Structure 1
Amino acid sequence: MTPYARTDMDNGRARQRRRFTNVPSHVSVTWRFTHSQYALFEGFLAYEINLGTDWFAVGLLNGMGVNQVQARFMDDPPYKSAISDSRAWFDVTATLEVKALPLPSRDEYDVLLTYVAADIAAMGDSLHRLIHESLPGPKRWD
């Protein structure tokens, strides 16, 4: 389902508008499992999440770091696996439907637009020193 509606016009550009404010994301994932981890994964699918149809919590990496999100498997079968050439690993790939990936707040977004990562890190050090080392009195933030 797309988050927008598009209407082609007889003349000129098509019109487009947002339909929903919160739509699930589709995320491709790859896990590398040992034999025992793969057995645990198969059991988790069978006994905990109804062969991948139920929602579950998983840590996913995006621009905001690794965060716990609610996800479920999208495909049938829910995943594909391949054993490594050394036969020591299983590489498992899947597409997950994720309820909501974390996004930066508007203020964080504005800072990211303005400064590079090194500048942000330098500001954090200065702010930390001000609060934890320079401010006087018992209300210091320790």
Structure 2
Amino acid sequence: MPILWPEILPLPTVQGYGIRPGEAILRTEMEAGPARQRKRFTQVPSRISVRWLMKREQFALFEAWYRWHAKEGGEWFEIPLLGGIGLVDHEARFTRQFEAKLVGGVLWEIASELEIRERPTLDRDALDLLLDNEPTSLLASVSALNTLVHQKLPGPMVW
């Protein structure tokens, strides 16, 4: 059973949020001619700098979840995180202990870094479709198809 980020806790803030992809390419400089490069791994973990703002009760819950469910941050868990395709569930784990400081005597600011197994991206077919078509026309076509299917066509036939 996967470990889930508690829905009662906030998601990371956008302030301080950053994605740092891992190095997927091994580069070898040559004595003469261009350097050689090759892909080292098929799956390259990325690191995400995260920051949360939590009320006292939320921070208490976070600390307990971190200790018991995330096993002091060592276990993989599912959490919605931002990326190029929007807010998507990621498989993540902590790469270092979190740091917490009290802000304004009311909120806790928690900062850490997460490692994600794989950054969700558009698949190859979606990429090719978007590169081969003008995005505004494509979105208009999708909108027109949606209107046709959901508003103009008759409902399902009952036999």
Asked if Structure 1 and Structure 2 have the same fold, meaning a TM-score greater than 0.5 normalized by the shorter chain, the answer is: yes
Cα distance in 2 for partners of 1:87, 1:107 equals 50
Kindly tell me the number of residue pairs found equivalent between the two proteins.
135
Equivalent residue, structure 2, for 1:82? 101
The equivalent residue for 2:46 is 25
* Structure richer in helix, relative to its length: 1
Cα distance change of structure 1 residues 4 and 136 upon mapping to structure 2, 3 Å threshold: same
- In structure 2, the CA distance between the partners of 1:138 and 1:108, relative to structure 1 (3 Å rule), is same
SS across alignment from 1:81:
strand
Q: What is the Cα deviation at residue 19 of structure 1?
A: 1.6
The aligned amino acid for 1:109 is L
Report the counterpart of residue 75 of structure 2 in structure 1.
Answer: 54
- The residue type paired with residue 97 of structure 1 is E
Q: Percent identity?
A: 36
Shift of residue 120, structure 1, vs aligned partner: 4.5
Looking at structure 2, the residues matched to 49 and 136 of structure 1 have their Cα atoms a distance apart, in angstroms, of 50
Which segments of structure 1 move beyond 3 Å, counting only runs of 4 or more? 111-116, 118-121, 133-139
- For residues 73 and 65 of structure 1, what CA distance do their matches in structure 2 show? 21
How much does 1:124 deviate? 2.4
Is residue 108 from structure 1 mapped to residue 108 from structure 2 by the alignment?
A: no
Question: What's the secondary structure of 1:10's corresponding residue?
Answer: coil
- The letter for the 2-side match of 1:11 is A
Q: Distance in 2 between matches of 1:63 and 1:74?
A: 22
RMSD: 2.1
> How do 1:121-140 and structure 2 match up within 5 A?
121-135=139-153, 138=156
| Alpha-carbon spacing, 1:135–1:38, altered in 2? closer, same or farther (3 Å) | same
Tell me the distance in 1 between the aligned counterparts of 2:51 and 2:25: 29
For structure 2, the 5+ residue unaligned runs are 1-21
- Return the alpha-carbon distance in structure 2 between the equivalents of residues 93 and 129 of structure 1: 45
AA aligned to 2:28 is T
Alpha-carbon offset, residue 119 of structure 1: 4.5
Structure 1 residue aligned with 2:11:
none
Corresponding residue number in structure 2 for 1:97: 115
**Matches of 2:139 and 2:125, distance apart in 1:** 16
The Cα of 1:15 is off from its aligned counterpart by: 0.8
Equivalence for 1:39: 60
